Structure formats: structure tokens, C-alpha cells
């Protein structure tokens, strides 16, 4: 594993995985959005409904750019998340843009939103799976 991979995995672990605190923060982000359904609405309102739908479906995940993600989630939500984690928003956005599609994809394995408010335990399981799959998704492709 190269230096970049090590740093990215460490940062990703800090944001999504390393402890239940980070899992709780992702739960908080989802709850703030109104669950997966609310998150989908935010993406639709930002003109990214097709992108979010690709993450839910069984098709290839469409990419999302950090600026698009910030437009969908709102800069205050990103700043709040970054502040709680001790990261700069400029670091959080690229990681979220790379890994949120995988997380949503794994939360919707049947191609539809069946559980709009996944439990903290389910989120932690999904986050662990994303971490175990390595950083292959960082460079494209579906994990």
C-alpha cells in the first residue's frame, strides 16, 4: 500500500469507521437529512437525483464531485461534520464524494430504499465493509 493509500485509509477510518463515534456522526448526518429518503430529496433538489438513484440501483454508481456534494448536503452540514471530526471541510468533501456512493449502494442492496433510517449498527457494518473492500472505489468502479 502506497503512502497516499495509507493516508486516505487513515482519514477514511477517522471519518467513517474507526469508532462508534464516527458511525454515530454518519447516523447524525443521515438523521439531519431525514434519513435516506430525505438525503435522496436533497440530491434531487440539487439536480443530482439521477446520481443518487444510481447509487441506490443495481447499476454502476455515477460519480459526484465535492462541489456537487456540498450543494446537495449544504455547506453548514459539511462544516459541522468536519468540525466534529477535527478535519477541514476541504478534506472531508473529497472523501465523502468518493465513499458516499459506496455507502448508499451497500445500504440499498436490493436496488431500493427499504430502510430509510438504518440503525447505527447497520451503518457500522456497512462502513466496516467499505473499509475492508479497500480503496479500490477511490479510483472508480463498484465494490
Residues 6+ apart with CB under 8 A from 48: 64, 68, 71, 72
Query: CB atoms < 10 A from the CB of 90, how many?
Result: 10
Q: What is the mean pLDDT of residues 14-38?
A: 69
The model's confidence at residue 121, banded by pLDDT at 50, 70 and 90, is confident
DSSP code per residue over 54-111: HHHSSSPPPP--HHHHHHHH-HHHHHHHHHHHT--HHHHHHHHHHHHHHHHHHH-TTS
The model's confidence at residue 5, banded by pLDDT at 50, 70 and 90, is very low
Residues 6+ apart with CB under 8 A from 4: none
CA distance 40 to 18: 26
Q: What is the mean pLDDT of residues 15-25?
A: 53
Domains and CATH numbers, the chain: 3-132 (1.10.10.690)
For residue 141, what pLDDT is reported?
44
> Which tens digit of pLDDT belongs to each residue from 56-94?
999 999 999 999 999 999 998 888 878 877 778 888 888
Looking at the chain, the whole-number percentage of residues with pLDDT higher than 70 is 76
DSSP percent split of the chain into helix, strand, coil, nearest 5: 70, 0, 30
**Among 126, 93, 132, which residue's Cα sits nearest to residue 23?**
126
The dihedral sign for the CA sequence 134, 137, 139, 140: positive
Amino acid at each position: 500500500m502506497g503512502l497516499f493509500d495509507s493516508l486516505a485509509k487513515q482519514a477514511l477510518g477517522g471519518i467513517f469507521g474507526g469508532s462508534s463515534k464516527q458511525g454515530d456522526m454518519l447516523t447524525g448526518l443521515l438523521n439531519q437529512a431525514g434519513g435516506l429518503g430525505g438525503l435522496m430529496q436533497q440530491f434531487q433538489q440539487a439536480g443530482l437525483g439521477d446520481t443518487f438513484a444510481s447509487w441506490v440501483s443495481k447499476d454502476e454508481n455515477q460519480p459526484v464531485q465535492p462541489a456537487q456534494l456540498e450543494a446537495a448536503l449544504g455547506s453548514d452540514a459539511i462544516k459541522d461534520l468536519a468540525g466534529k471530526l477535527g478535519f477541514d471541510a476541504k478534506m472531508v468533501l473529497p472523501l465523502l464524494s468518493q465513499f458516499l456512493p459506496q455507502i448508499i449502494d451497500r445500504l440499498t442492496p436490493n436496488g431500493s430504499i427499504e430502510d430509510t433510517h438504518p440503525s447505527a449498527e447497520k451503518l457500522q457494518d456497512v462502513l466496516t465493509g467499505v473499509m475492508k473492500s479497500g480503496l479500490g472505489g477511490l479510483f472508480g468502479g463498484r465494490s
